């Protein structure tokens, strides 16, 4: 069978409900961490193509920037460079990305890119890879090779997809507990979720680095956030009461704000308070904080009021995505 000449992957972004921060080694190396998150119907697409030698370059990369280089070492995009080195594919190669939503926004886009790129590169090379392998390789590249001060939840969410409770063991092992809800419950839950784009993109690294350093003094807050991941799942599993779920999200947000000084600011607090006063049951700033998307649980009769008080922000509707990274197009020579 001829080798692939072009591969495109589609990898979901994710929202975190509770437990974020306990997937960092500073926490889970002391005691088990736990995170409840779900992938959504917003994606990052990666295309890997055999580059035509008429372009006189070994590598062309198109993402938020464009790179034309001959040497692997000259690639500025560190994830692309190290993923190419790890999988080991000879040039010439073209790599392009398209995202449904902005990066650096608290939806795990960097790890979705890593997982999606690895999936595309392995498929291009003819390798068969599992979701677990993609997640572990993405963690290896981002955490071990690039030394990013991040956790492991985003890579696993992107690779496996769906609603999952992840457990992070002191040994470094990640245990996956997939959660399944009836379709009507999932629809009711996601119909109540409102994401508002703050217009602020930021790197999570400085916030996570400060959080890593202060983990020992914040263990009680992190333990409570871990407990809330179990509480929210318990509520979802029963009759999915939106008011109670929103209340736990709000408690988690209050705990999260105490982790570092960089997570929130007066503007975010003002938006958050306005949404609560307009009828939102609760919510949080997604990801590490400092920018990105605000998530709220809002009953149907209060949605217009919340939209009105947050009219300077952009509302993004999301639905549930049950699948992780997948190959959506493969072309052979």
Catalytically annotated residues: 154
Paired strand residues for 93: 50, 59
Closest C-alpha among 280, 214, 279 to residue 246: 280
Helix (H) or strand (E) holding 46: strand 33-50
Hey, is 93 helix, strand or coil? strand
d(CA 83, CA 34): 27
> What is the Cα Rg of the chain in Å?
20
Distances, alpha carbon 144 to alpha carbons 40, 82, 138, in Å: 27, 11, 10
Neighbours of 308 (CB within 10 A): 10
Task: Measure CA 59 to chain center.
Answer: 27
d(CA 307, CA 57): 49
Task: Measure CA 109 to chain center.
Answer: 5
φ, ψ for residue 201 (rounded to 5)?
-95, 145
Determine if residue 9 is left, alpha or beta; phi over 0 gives left, psi from -120 to 50 gives alpha, anything else beta. beta
Q: Counting Cβ atoms within 10 Å, is residue 133 exposed (0-12), middle (13-18) or buried (19+)?
A: middle
What is the CB-side half-sphere exposure of residue 57 using CA atoms within 13 A? 14
H-state helical runs in the chain:
25-28, 78-87, 109-125, 131-139, 153-160, 183-192, 205-214, 219-237, 242-257, 266-277, 303-309
């Amino acid at each position: 069978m001829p080798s692939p000449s072009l591969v495109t992957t589609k990898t979901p972004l994710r929202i975190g409900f509770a437990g974020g921060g306990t997937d960092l080694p500073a926490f889970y190396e002391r005691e088990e961490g736990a995170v409840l998150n779900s992938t959504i119907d917003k994606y990052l697409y990666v295309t890997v193509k055999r580059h035509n030698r008429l372009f006189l370059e070994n590598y062309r990369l198109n993402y938020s920037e464009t790179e034309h280089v001959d040497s692997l070492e000259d690639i500025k995009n560190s994830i692309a460079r190290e993923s190419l080195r790890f999988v080991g594919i000879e040039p010439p190669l073209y790599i392009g990305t398209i995202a449904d939503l902005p990066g650096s926004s608290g939806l795990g886009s960097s790890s979705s890119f890593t997982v999606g790129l690895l999936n595309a590169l392995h498929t291009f090379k003819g390798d068969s890879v599992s979701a677990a392998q993609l997640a572990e390789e993405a963690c290896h590249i981002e955490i071990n090779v690039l030394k990013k001060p991040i956790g492991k939840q985003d890579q696993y969410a992107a690779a496996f997809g769906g609603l999952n409770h992840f457990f992070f063991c002191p040994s470094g092992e990640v245990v996956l507990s997939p959660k399944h809800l009836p379709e009507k419950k999932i629809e009711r839950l996601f119909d109540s979720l409102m994401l508002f784009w703050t217009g602020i993109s930021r790197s999570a690294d400085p916030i996570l680095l400060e959080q890593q350093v202060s983990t020992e003094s914040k263990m009680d807050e992190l333990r409570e956030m871990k407990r809330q991941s179990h509480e929210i799942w318990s509520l979802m599993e029963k009759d999915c009461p939106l008011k109670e779920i929103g209340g736990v999200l709000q408690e988690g947000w209050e705990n999260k704000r105490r982790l570092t000084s960089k997570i929130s600011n007066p503007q975010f607090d003002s938006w958050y308070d306005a949404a609560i006063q307009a009828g939102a049951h609760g919510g949080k700033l997604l990801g590490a904080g400092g920018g990105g998307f605000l998530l709220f649980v809002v009953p149907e009769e209060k949605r217009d009021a919340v939209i009105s008080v947050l009219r300077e922000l952009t509302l993004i509707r999301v639905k549930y995505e049950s699948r992780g990274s997948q190959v959506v197009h493969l072309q052979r020579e």
